[in-house]
């Protein structure tokens, strides 16, 4: 049996400020760094060798992975992919979530955050937060850079990458992915066979490793968060 470990990055500066972040490339807070280090130590206690490492190309995920690998004493190279990026929140990007609840209503903001196929209005391409104006995306094909995304859009790019790069290694390798709340939710939708309504209820905590153990038929036989005090309902098992 082998394991797929999913880790949402540690707390970011915009998590702390309660802002819609999406494709904006913000760093970890000091607390986020501590969460990443703790995640690494929890994974280390499993006493398994991680064979493959993946992350998005965003700093908060990449640096979470670096801190985890440091705790593991494992310096294998990782593959960083934009397809594992957070969902793009369109015109909501950079805005405070509580302020938007006051302006639009809590139900509408919840729909934007958790619905399956609802996209916020597109972000103006002249906005400095648009990914076309952020240097780390210079090598991403222009046609693949979104102005806004629904969770369904995020799911489609994440799952294409998973099926082409990761799925075939599940039976033989231990794999760790450092990514984001919505890119991990997308993976969980596929792996847990969640429907479009169930996925709206799935919460992914920062810096808490989620370990999925697979049998030789690529079936999940165990699933657990390593930090039980900060675990969320996985809607299965």
- What is the CA angle 28-200-176, rounded to 5? 45
| Residue 86 to residue 195: CA distance in whole angstroms | 20
Structural domains of the chain sorted by starting position, each given as residue range(s) with its CATH number in brackets: 22-88+137-146+169-175+198-210+223-237 (3.40.50.1240), 89-122 (no CATH)
Catalogue the active-site residues.
9, 86
pTM score of the predicted model: 0.95
pLDDT tens digits along 170-215? 989 999 999 999 999 999 999 999 999 899 889 999 999 999 999 9
pLDDT at res. 237: 53
Instruction: Report the helix count and the strand count for the chain, using DSSP H and E.
Output: 7, 6
| Residue 222 to residue 162: CA distance in whole angstroms | 20
Compare 105 and 55 and report the one with higher pLDDT. 55
pLDDT tens digits along 83-112? 999 999 999 999 999 998 888 888 877 777
Helix axes 97-104, 106-114, angle to 10 degrees: 120
């Amino acid at each position: 049996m082998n394991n797929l470990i999913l880790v949402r990055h540690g707390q970011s500066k915009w998590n702390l400020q309660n802002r819609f972040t999406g494709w904006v490339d913000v760093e970890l807070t000091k607390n986020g760094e501590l969460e990443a280090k703790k995640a690494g130590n929890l994974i280390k206690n499993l006493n398994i060798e991680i064979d493959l490492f993946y992350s998005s190309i965003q700093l908060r995920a990449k640096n979470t992975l670096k801190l985890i690998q440091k705790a593991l004493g494992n310096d294998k190279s990782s593959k960083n992919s934009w397809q594992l990026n957070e969902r793009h929140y369109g015109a909501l990007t950079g805005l405070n979530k509580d302020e938007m609840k006051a302006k639009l209503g809590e139900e509408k903001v919840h729909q934007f955050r958790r619905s399956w196929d609802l996209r916020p209005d597109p972000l103006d391409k002249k906005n400095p937060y648009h990914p076309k104006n952020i240097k780390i995306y210079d090598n991403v094909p222009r046609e693949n850079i979104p102005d806004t995304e629904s969770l369904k859009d995020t799911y489609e790019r994440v799952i294409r990458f998973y099926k082409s790069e990761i799925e075939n290694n599940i039976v033989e390798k231990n794999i760790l992915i450092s990514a984001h709340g919505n890119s991990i939710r997308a993976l969980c939708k596929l792996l847990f066979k969640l429907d479009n309504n169930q996925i709206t209820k799935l919460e992914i905590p920062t810096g808490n490793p989620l370990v999925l153990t697979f049998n030789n038929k690529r079936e999940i036989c165990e699933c657990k968060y390593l930090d039980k005090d900060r675990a969320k309902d996985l809607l299965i098992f």
